[in-house]
Amino acid sequence: MASQISLLMENQPGALSRVIGLFSQRGYNIDSLSVAPTQDSTLSRLTMTTSESREVIQQILKQLYKLIDVVMVQDLKASEFISLEMALIKVSNKSEVISKIEKNYSSLEFSELDNKKEKTILRLIGDTDTLETLLVELNDDLIEVTRTGALGMTLGDVSLETEEETKVIY
């Protein structure tokens, strides 16, 4: 399974491009990426998955933390965590697709969102690997697919939080 990195960064123009740029600049691969503001509107939370080796992940974590706009970084795999992802799929043969899901993918949550002109949009929520296996199986049935990328959070007391602010006095 791919590694998952979560980070908090300044919700500012240019911050995201620095994070993405770091990956292309240093030759790291990103499998998925998801970003949105948090309860603190000055911060965005970004989750990415990558299949790089442990050594490379350690470098990525350090390089990310070095970015001025990145406030805190977390390797989700370092403690117990949950991870899930949502996908929207558009299909024309709804009943066949639903029976495939019910038969072999009971861990996935799904619901029907819209049904116009015999084309249905289904919402699927579950872990990335299961979702990907299903999408391979459904390949011929799919008209359109969009995915959020994985989201993750560590359990219990381990949380991604900001450090105290550093005040520099001259």
Partner 1 sequence: MSNEEINGGDALIRALADENIDLIFGYPGGAALHIYDAIYKQNKVQHILVRHEQAAVHAADGYARATGKPGVALVTSGPGATNAITGIATAYMDSIPVVVISGQVASHLIGSDAFQETDMLGISRPIVKHSFLVQSAEEIPVVIKKAFHIATSGRPGPVVIDVPKNMTDPNYKFEYKYPKDLVMRSFPILGKGQDEKIAAAIELFRSAKKPVIYSGGGTIQADASKELTEFSKLIGCPVTNTLMGLGAFPGNDEQFIGMLGMHGTYEANMVMSEADLIFNVGARFDDRITNNPSKFGLEAKKIHIDSDPSSIDKIIGVDLAIEGDAKIVMQQLIEQVKSTGFDQSIYKDWWSKVEAWRKAHGLNHDMLQLKNEKDIILPQQVIQSLYQTTNGDAYVTSDVGQHQMFAAQYYKFKDPRKWINSGGLGTMGFGLPSAMGVKFAFPEADVACVTGEGSIQMCIQELSTCGQYGLPIKIVNLNNRALGMVKQWQDMQYGGRYSSISYEDSLPDFVKLAESFGHVGIKVEKLSELNDAMKESFAMKDKLVFLDVLVDPDEHVYPMLEAGGSMSEMRLSKDKKTF
Give the binding site for partner 1 (CB under 8 A): 10, 13-14, 17-18, 21, 25, 55, 58-59, 62-63, 65-66, 68-72, 162-163, 165-170
Q: How far is the CB of 2 from partner 1 (least distance, A)?
A: 22
Q: How far is the CB of 76 from partner 1 (least distance, A)?
A: 19
Q: How far apart are CA 158 and CA 79, in angstroms?
A: 8
Shortest distance, position 81 Cβ to partner 1, whole Å: 21
* Residue 161 CB, nearest approach to partner 1 (Å): 11
**SS3 of residue 58 by DSSP:** helix
Q: Under 8 Å CB-to-CB from 88, ≥6 apart: which residues?
A: 113, 121, 122, 123, 124, 144, 145, 146, 147
* Closest CB to partner 1 among residues 12, 104: 12
Only one residue has tokens 């998955």, namely 49
Of 117 and 167, the one with the shorter C-beta distance to partner 1 is 167
Query: What's the residue count for the chain?
Result: 170
